[in-house]
Each structure stands twice: as C-alpha cells, then as structure tokens.
A and B are shown apart, each in its own frame.
Chain A
Amino acid sequence: MNRTATKYIADDLVRPLFQSSVWFYAIVLAAGSVVACGAAAWTYQIWNGIGVAGIRWPVFWAFYLVNFVFWIGISHAGTLISAILRLVDAEWRRPVTRCAEVITVFALMIGAMFPIIHLGRPWLAFWMFPYPSSREIWPNFRSPLAWDFFAINTYLTGSVLFLFLPMIPDLALVRDRSTGWRRKLYGALSFGWRGTTKQWNRLESAMQIMAIAILPVAVSVHTIVSFDFSMANVPMWHSTIFGPYFVAGAIFSGIAALIIAMAVLRKFLHLEKYLLPYHFENLGKLLLLMSVLWAYFVFNERLTTWYGNEPSEMAVFWATQRGRFAGFYWTMVTCNFVIPFIILSINRTRTIAGCVIASFAVLIGMWLERFLIIVPGLATKQLPYSWGNYGPRPVEMTIMAATFAAMILLYTLFSKFVPIISIWELKAGLPSRLDKATLTEASLMSTRLDELGPMPPEGQRP
C-alpha cells in the first residue's frame, strides 16, 4: 500500500505541471494585464516626475513605503515559518513548507521594487551598490536605507537558496517524467540529481544549515525595515518597540497570506487530499497567537505614548485615536484583533473558511497598520505650522494593485512549473506515519490515502 501511495502522490502532484485548466489561462491573462497597467503607471511616473503621486510636503513617504513594508512583512510567511517548523521537526509542515517559501521569495522581490519605484530619480538607484567608482564615493553606511539594501539582499539570496534546495529532488522527478525541452530545463535545474545516499546527506545538511542561518536573517530584516522609521526623530516613529513590533506584525501578516494562498491552491489545484482542514487549524491557531501578540504590542506602544504625554507625540496619538485617522485606526484594530480573535478562538469557526476570512481581515488590518505608522507621524511633525495631509493618487493605487496582481501571476506561474507541494518530503513523511499510526495526524493522513482508491491508469499519467 505504501508503494502505491507514494506513486499516487507523485503522479497527483506532478499533474498540474502537464495539464492546464482554463482557469490557469484566465488567471494569467487577468493578473498579467493588471501588472501591465502597473508597469505603464510606473513608466508614466518616471516620464512625468514623481509628482504624479500623492506625496507632498511634509508627507514625503506614503503609499509606496506602506506597500514596501507590507510586502516585506508578507515575506516573513515562508522562510521563517517553514524554517521553524523544519527545525522543530513538526510533521504537519510537509505539505505547507514550499507554498510558504515561495511566498517569501516573490513577496521580497515585489517589496524590494518599492524603494526603487518611490525614488525621485530611480535611474540612479545603482548608487546604493557599494561599487568602486572613480569618484571613490561609497554608500553612506550610517543611513538606515543602506542597511535596508544589504538586509533585503541577504534575505532574498538566503530565501531563494532555502526555496531551491528542497526543490532539487522534485525537479529531478519531473525531469525523469518529461521529454523534450522540459527534460532539458528540469535537467539543468536539478543539477544532475540521482538520489544517491551521498546526495541526500548533502541536501539534508545544507537544509539544516540554511534553516538555522535564515532565522536570524529574517528577524533582522524586519527589524532593519523598522529602523527606517525608528531612527528618525519623527513623532511616534522614534520608538524602541518598533523592532519586535514589526517582526511580530510581519509574521502575523505572513501567516495570513499563507493561509489564503493555501486555500486558493487547495481549490484550484485540487489539493484537498494534502492540505487538510487540520493544517488550516494549526495555522489558524498560530494566527490567533500572533493576533494576540500584535494587540499586546499595539497596547504597549499606545500606553507608553499616552502616559509619557509628550506634546508632539500626543498630536499624532490623538490624530490616530480619535482625529482624522481614527476611522483607519479602529478598522485596523477590528481587522487585526477583534475579527481574527473571535473567529479563531471558537473551535467551530476555526474552519478553512473561517481561517480565510480572518486572514483577509488581517491583511487589510496590517496594511492599514503600516499606513498609520508612516503617514500620521509625517503629517503631524513638531512644528504645527507645517502640518499637512495626504491622499493617494491614481498612479499609486494602480501600482499597488499591480503588485497584488504580480503576486498572483508569479504564484500561478510557479505552481505551473514546480510541484507546489514538496513530493519527496511528503513521501519521506509517509512510512513513519504509517508505522506510528497512533498519531492523530498520521491516522488522518493514512485514512485519506486509503480512501484514494486505485492508481490512475497508465495512459493518464504523464
């Protein structure tokens, strides 16, 4: 039965690579056109000047930076969660890790675009690189933006490796099942993987090293992103809580993104047998924990500010608490705490649908959180004469919509070219599960596999 099960898993999970439903083309077309609109909007902005965006004196950072922090936050879905789950050897991680790691890589790529998009002269962005030039000018290493540059590049490199390493055996599997250009492509990507003991050992140790190395990088990345704000003496930015607050918020929104991605994959790629309600339940509990932690951080930040009663900070405090930003603020609290707390703490509502609803609320709430951190502080700085307000312009909203579409597009294309669930890891989990059938999860999984029925006929296999 075990052999049948492993074979079934391989066939079933490789199938989406060779068969495309009409949904695939529809999604690629729709998301692709939105991305094209975003590219056009950016071209328009470069052509006319950054003034087509809504930024103004004194709110010089707004939508673009909000999206930057938002996407870098989303990127904490994958690597961090999957590294922790791998290190503690949580059995239930197996079908989840790859979906999570892919989010990291793509969210980072999208997030890292924003510091370039928001530049006044993006064509000079390469001055951030520490390259030897005849003028002998280096980047200013005192600037948090330079720290950002290195932190994000390190994290991107690390998470690409972390995603790619466990993909190698699966790419080899696809190589062995394909012909023509696919065979060449997957052959090149799988680096001559033959599945020898030596190769497995090397892969295992490489992944152990990466899982340990990526954790401090992930934590430091969002801390450094928070330093962009906390290093500047802007009211309500200049706070020591920002490092852990941002990291917690990032993991929070990351889990929410992961739950949504998994639910969508489950539906469209028919992965009901692999992504079980129990996985959503576990992630839902994690989301609940992060929601409570987030509320704790917000409470801390608000209480210390209010108690300290520093005039310039109180101006921002009241602007968000009951002034012109209060609508956003209370929506944020509702979306990030009230809704997920209620849905996820009741066993009966902690279903897949419940988790997805809570996750959407969290994404909206976390986006608003970044907006409320960045904009009210700048709009209400120390000198009341220079207070201002900010409203987004169409070009900013188009580019923002395009990044969400870009995520969908990249994710769809990725799941077309790589098995979105790690086949070998799932297989590796099988024997132990069937041996230790006492485990709840294992029995869940094995009963499902028993119910799978006979293998698909030879002709239907790729």
Chain B
Amino acid sequence: MAAKHRWGMAVDIDKCTGCEACVTACHAENNIPTVGAGQAARGRAMHWIRVERYYEGDFPDVRVKFRPVLCQQCDNAPCEAVCPTYAAHQSEDGLNAQVYNRCIGTRYCANACMYNVRFFNFFNPEWPKPLQLQLNPDVSIREVGVMEKCTFCVQRIKAAKTEAKKENRELVDGALQPACAQACPTSAIVFGDLNDPESRVARLMKSPRGTKLLEDLGAEPKITYLQKQPWHESDSY
C-alpha cells in the first residue's frame, strides 16, 4: 500500500537573500549543538541546513547566488544502503530517517552522501548554562559518535498528524512547516505533501524553473530548486 504522505520541499533560489534565518531556526528547533570557534575551524560545525554561496561573473560585475542545502530526502538514498545497522533508513512517508540509538558511528552514510548534509557528533554536545533550558523538549539530544541530519522537522510532522487524527480531519497544506520554512522571510522555502496534487509544493515541483541538485547521480532527491534558467525567454514563470 502506498504511503499516505510523501514529504517534499521546493526552495526558490531567486527569492533567497542568504540571510541564514533558516540556519538559526533549525539550530533552535532541533537542538543542534554549536561546537565553538576552535572545533568549527577543525570542520566539526553542524548545520543541518547551510546556505551555499556561488559567485557568477568577473569583478566588478559579480552576482552571488545563495543555495540553501539540506538533506534532499532522496527516494534512492545512497546513505541508507551503506549503513550496516539500519540506523539510516527510509520512513513510510519517504523521509530518510536516522535512528540515533541504532547508530554505531561508521560514518559511511556521510561519505556516501553526495550533498554532504550529514553531521557527526565528534564529542558529547554541551550547552553553557543556562542555555540548556532553551532546548526543545520534543527533540532528543544526540550523544557522541552518532550521525545526525535534517529530519524535515519530523517532530512537527508527528505532532500535526496526531492533532489532525484527534480532530478527525485531514492535514491542511501549509499549516505544517519545518522550522526553516517558517523562519524564511521571503517564503523561499515551501514544504508540503507531494502526494497531494493540489499542495503548493506539488505545484512548484512542476515549475519549468525547477531543477534538482546533482540530479544526474540518480539519488532521486525530493527537494526542487526553483531558479530562472538562462534558457527561459520570458519572465512569465
């Protein structure tokens, strides 16, 4: 039986201002530890979503493009097959779930991921007091040696589903948002159910502006990047 939901996302690069509000919101929502300047310089910073900057043209005529990169929740995810303990696996809703308790820390998933969106807990996370009080109670803290990654805010998905079930109704498109989409001031990030043909994200997926990141590698990512392409003749999109 096909799953009821299939979560996906559309990111409009033409709208992204590179403000990184999504990064901050994600850190706050998902209890992502900040590792400090020293460790960050040694490549231990964890950002489930990051804003990549790409520069086009030569000085002084330079254009910068921002591309928020997060887990692409691939249908054919390279990270899942390589995990020896099933810590990385596909959930019913098509999410690339990471079971922290099952992870033994081989880090193979992070190597196999071509998007480099998996992050490893090199040490036990710490929050200087009293910052531990601001942790989100709905999200577990990950211990040392465990891989973690964007979950599409699975705790919000679960809560919304439970709420809808309690009130005996269907989920409303747009009512459920991950932290990054909620925080985006230009609404560049749109989240929703790809199984619902009327949802905003399902319609944006069909946009001629849409491309997928490293699509040729065959991982079948579920995030569509919207961007005016050079071959588009008019601005009608």
- A interface residues (Cβ-Cβ under 8 A, vs B): 48-51, 54-61, 115, 118-122, 124-125, 127-128, 137, 139-140, 142-146, 149, 228, 231-234, 378, 381-383, 385-386, 388
Contacts and interface: CB of A to CB of B under 8 A. Distances in A.
A143 B82 contact: yes
B22 to A, nearest CB: 16
Contacts of B106: 115, 118-120, 145
A50 B52 contact: no
A119 B147 CA distance: 11
Given A57-B43, A143-B84, A49 B122 contact: yes
A145 B82 contact: yes
A427 to B, nearest CB: 47
A143 B144 contact: no
Contacts of A115: 106
Contacts of A59: 43
Contacts of A58: 43, 110-111, 116
A58 B111 CA distance: 7
Interface of A (DSSP majority class): loop
Given A51-B122, A57-B43, A124 B112 contact: no
A51 B82 CA distance: 22
Interface string B41-55: 011110000101110
A122 B104 CA distance: 7
A61 B83 contact: no
A144 B82 contact: yes
Contacts of B116: 57-58, 381, 383, 386
Provide the main secondary structure of the chain B interface. Answer: loop
B102 to A, nearest CB: 8
A385 B106 CA distance: 24
Contacts of B18: none
Given A49-B124, A139-B85, A120 B104 contact: yes
Interface string B193-229: 0000000000000000000011001010000000000
Given A57-B116, A120-B104, A143-B108, 12 more contacts: A49-B145, A51-B122, A120-B103, A120-B106, A120-B146, A140-B84, A140-B86, A142-B81, A144-B108, A145-B84, A232-B78, A383-B52
B81 A57 contact: no
B45 A57 contact: yes
B217 A233 contact: yes
A119 B83 CA distance: 13
Contact of A60 (B69, B78, B120): B120
Given A49-B124, A383-B52, A124 B104 contact: yes
A146 B108 CA distance: 12
Contacts of B145: 49-50, 119-121
A51 B107 contact: no
A111 B222 CA distance: 39
A16 to B, nearest CB: 42
A145 B82 CA distance: 7
Most buried by A among B44, B85, B214: B85
- 7 nearest A-B pairs in the assembled complex, by CB-CB distance: A120-B105, A120-B145, A56-B43, A51-B122, A121-B145, A60-B107, A386-B116
A388 B43 contact: yes
A332 to B, nearest CB: 22
B127 interface: no
A208 to B, nearest CB: 36
Contact of A140 (B83, B143, B146): B83
B82 A127 contact: no
Contact of A50 (B111, B144, B213): B144
A55 B110 CA distance: 12
Contacts of B83: 140, 143
